[in-house]
Amino acid sequence: MKEMISKFSDLLDAVAKEDEPQRLLMLFAKAEGGSTNPKKQRKQQRGTIEPVMCVDKLPEEVGSFTQLVAEADNISKEWNFIIIAGLAGENGQAPTTEDADPYLNKMANGLAMGEDLSRYLIFDRSENPIVMQE
C-alpha cells in the first residue's frame, strides 16, 4: 500500500478502506546536519533526525495536510518531517490514545536510536514524500 501513497490525502483514503478503524500515529521530527553546499545537496544528504513532538489522531480528526501543519506549527515550528504509522483497531473499535502511547514512544525512541524508518510514511512540510535510507 505504501507505494501508492504519494500525498497525505492518499493516506487518508487508504486508511478509510481498511477493515478495522485506524488511529494515525504522527511523529514530527527535525533534521540536523547535512551539507550546506548546494552542489552536494543534489546527492544524498546525511545528517541526524530527532523527534520534536508526537500526536495521535483518528483519520476523521485530520481535515487536511495544511490543517495538520498549521496545528503543529501552533505548538512548534521546529520540525521538517512528519513520520506516520497507522494503528489498527479491533472488533470495529478504533484504538484509543492510551493504546497509541506505547507505539508513539517506540517510534520516537527508534528515531532517536537511528533505527530503520522505511516502514513509515514520511512527508516533508510541503507534503512531498520522503524516502529515508541508512
Residue-wise pLDDT tens digits, 74-120 = 999 999 999 999 999 999 999 999 999 999 999 999 998 888 888 99
Determine the Cα angle at 47 with ends 45 and 48, to 5°. Answer: 140
Three-class SS state of 75: helix
Reading the block at residue 57, the C-alpha cell is 489522531
Nearest to 25 by CA among 64, 83, 96, 110: 83
Reading the block at residue 38, the C-alpha cell is 548546494
Residue-wise pLDDT tens digits, 52-66 = 999 999 999 998 999
pLDDT at 5: 87
Three-class SS state of 82: strand
